[in-house]
Structure 1
């Protein structure tokens, strides 16, 4: 473990340690997995335009998210069923995020409850929500999160049905029998059992409300005082609608390339959404972030922060809480170095002029 120098190196260790079904569940994407590859590859086509001879003896990586000051604009995305990766699951993740001074988002499908995560100590936490067919259960979940001191709801809006994840179908994915979806205990919501298909796909088909629409976002605002972020926006049109219904923020996300294959990489979709939002709400993104350079590129394109998923889950599988802490530190240090070498002393100084993208060539101004 001491030889690990970047977050990507945790994946090989996780693959060795985890049963095939569990590793495949975390690692795989939808169908041909084109978007899964593109989520990474798209970053490599964005290049830096560093500025030199700037006094970078002091670098401030802090960011403010929904009024909360955090150590860096790198936060933890919701990933389901973390006790499959490590016995301490979401509790280890919560402690690592708190130690790093950043935000953790707990999945609805966590193997630890909101109360258990809250009991790990102080820290800013968001709760990711799937809207289920039974709205009373949804109201209960939101209420539980609010009571446990969670600070925002991240509403996932790209999953009326589960994407076709062929590895899960082949493996007949099911939640190991010693684990449960802790937030759903006592709510009579069934279990993620072995089927002839993906057990999770069957569970989603049974429980998640396919009729979810913009009116439901308004309804959600009536049952909680917490700010609501919509997670899963990829277009300017939907960004505009999100602002119109009064969301507190937008997360540009393609669900880790696990839903609709051949949607763009999130880093490619980001600028369109940022322009549509026009600064009315903060725009965040997840998907493919593996380096501090990726974080810088996202901020240069207008993101207020990024969320990571697989990097910390693989670090958790490899080395528990210590792994997650180290993964966050490596990303922080890479990001800080990128800032320094680009001539930026604070995230406010990161601008669009610090990068060049493949689509910049399309913006040629005609001569009069």
Structure 2
């Protein structure tokens, strides 16, 4: 059962989580997923295919941005403050006009079918069970309407700004109709980053029809595909290998909402190939500018959060342009190698925003102590990414739930051991800079 708006949902979660784990251990049971972040990643590596692990875990270039994101947390230390009554701790916070059980979000991660067959459905159910809002990716493996039906929890929708305004408008109309609370426009993927692990494997999931369910279920996209198929010439010849056949079957299966047939019929149809090629053409646009963002207000009445803000000047401009939130993110280090780490600029962005809109933070978050540091530096909400994907790969919905519970539990315990009883009390004086 979802508890998205119950402010008491996460109270005492640290004590409960530890008690549950240790009590179960008496009979020999261990957690479904490793608790330590590095052990979690290593277990996921074993559970995933080489291509899936590279796509989820990899970053841009030599991985310097991923390293910098983590190193930025090492520059801060939490002050322990004993002899304070912290028996009743409250993780609740206000976000988008509602009181949430905790300041945690699940960041949008695409192509989760690479980790588990239930993909976004499992993630959404796990998030809803803990009252954590889930930001559904534009590159999800299931249509947003199906995710809404499966979870009933708090959801936001992430939009990658397509080169087709008709498609953008359609996606946002669907997001609003399916009960999403806000739109998160990702700004930093107008060009796909130089992702070396994927390039070494010559593997991009979208070319197999994976991660495009929001598109194949969209009437505007379906029409674009049919028009392309009508105008297309003969299919280019490709060398037939077992992997070619597997890719063809995958494309045929994922294009079923457009072809209206099963795999066998799809293999005979030009539509699956046209769907993939259409997606690759319209996925993003390098011509996107600040002026274009005003169109989103015409397409939806939902609050609009701009994701991918790292420079303080861009944060100021986002607020001046009427954004309902600023999301500080460098895409988890997946777009630019040697990018500025997000935590390093968070305080300055918070100062620029000056409380006018919420500030969401991600990139480099691996546990509850990380979330505490980001909150102390001014973040309104903290978004978790790769760790929950690892939990999904290892143990499905239960794995996601345990990972998220563990982050909340560590945040709860860190809150108490630092002498605080409420998220609202945390400020920069809770930290010492190394």
Normalised TM-score (structure 1) = 0.91
Residue in 1 that maps onto 2:24? none
Alpha carbons 2:164, 2:282 under 8 Å: kept: no
The alignment status of 1:85 with 2:161, answered yes or no, reads no
Aligned counterpart in structure 1 of residue 187 of structure 2, from 136, 150, 157: 157
Q: Quick one: which of 42, 45, 48 aligns to 2:75?
A: 45
Distance 1:203 1:166, change over 3 A: farther
Secondary structure of residue in 2 paired with 1:161: coil
Residue 94 of structure 1: CA displacement? Answer: 0.1
More deviation, 64-73/134-143: 64-73
In the TM superposition, what is the alpha-carbon distance from 1:8 to its structure 2 partner? 3.9
Distance 1:139 1:96 in 2: 29
Q: Of 98, 101, 116, which aligns to 2:128?
A: 98
Which of 148, 157, 168 is residue 198 of structure 2 equivalent to?
Answer: 168
- Runs of at least 5 residues in structure 2 that lack an aligned partner in the other structure: 1-29, 226-243, 248-275
Of structures 1 and 2, the larger Rg is shown by: 2
Q: Which runs of 5+ in 1 are unaligned?
A: 195-199, 359-368
Aligned to 1:240: 316
Q: How does 1:48-67 map to 2 (within 5 A)?
A: 48-67=78-97
| Paired position in structure 2 for 1:181 | 212
Deviation at 1:257, TM superposition (A): 0.3
Could you tell me which residue of structure 2 aligns to residue 134 of structure 1?
Answer: 164
Where does residue 263 of structure 1 map in the other structure?
Answer: 339
Match of 2:433 among 346, 357, 363: 357
1:230 to 306, 309, 312: 306
- 1:251 counterpart SS class: strand
1:29 aligns with 2:29: no
- 1:1-58 deviation per Cα after TM superposition (whole angstroms, max 9, x unaligned): 6272234432112111211011100011000110111111211120122333221010
| C-alpha separation in 1, matches of 2:91 and 2:297 | 32
Query: How many angstroms does 1:203 deviate by?
Result: 5.9
2:372 & 2:179 partners in 1: Cα distance? 30
Q: Structure 2 CA distance, aligned partners of 1:287 and 1:204?
A: 26
Q: 1:241 to 1:204 in 2, by over 3 A?
A: farther
Which residue of 349, 360, 363 maps to 1:287? 363
Deviates more, 1:34-43 or 1:321-330: 34-43
Q: Write out per-residue CA displacement over residues 263-317 of structure 1, whole angstroms, 9 at most, x where no aligned residue.
A: 2221112111101101111111011111111011001100001001100001000
What SS does structure 2 have at the residue aligned with 1:37? helix
Write the distance in 1 (CA, Å) between the matches of 2:311 and 2:193. 19
CA distance in 2, matches of 1:212, 1:4: 41
Shift of 1:175: 2.3
Equivalent position to 2:173, from 127, 135, 143: 143
Task: Determine the structure 2 residue equivalent to 1:216.
Answer: 292
CA gap 1:30/1:203 in 2 versus in 1, 3 angstroms: farther
Q: Residues 272, 75 of structure 1: CA spacing in aligned structure 2 closer, same or farther, 3 A cutoff?
A: same
Aligned residues: 352
Partner of 1:71: 101
Name the structure 2 match of 1:331.
407
Q: Tell me the SS of whatever aligns to 1:139.
A: helix
